[in-house]
Amino acid sequence: MDLTLRYCPARRKIEEDFAALANRLFRLTERLNLSIGQHQAFRTAKLDCEEVHHRLAELKLALKNHRAAHKC
């Protein structure tokens, strides 16, 4: 594979954003578990988790589309 394709800056940015959000989702899941029994805190953490999960799905699609369009 050509090195310019292998280290595509656009793909790298999407992958780094995905990794950062996955890390955030992990931390939010911990917060969610700790807030069990605290109804308002639990609902807030759950909504935050859902938002990050949705964003991860968007990035996954963006990466798939980028790879298809640029072959990298």
pLDDT tier at 2 (50, 70, 90 boundaries)? low
Q: Which two tokens stand for residue 14?
A: 């999407």
49-62 pLDDT tens trace: 999 999 999 999 99
Structure confidence at residue 19 (pLDDT): 97
Structure confidence at residue 35 (pLDDT): 94
For residue 46, pLDDT over 60 is answered with yes
Cα–Cα distance, 53 to 45 (Å, whole number): 12
Domain ranges of the chain: 7-70
Cα–Cα distance, 43 to 47 (Å, whole number): 6
Q: Which residues contact 16 (CB under 8 A, 6 or more apart)?
A: none
Cα–Cα distance, 58 to 65 (Å, whole number): 11
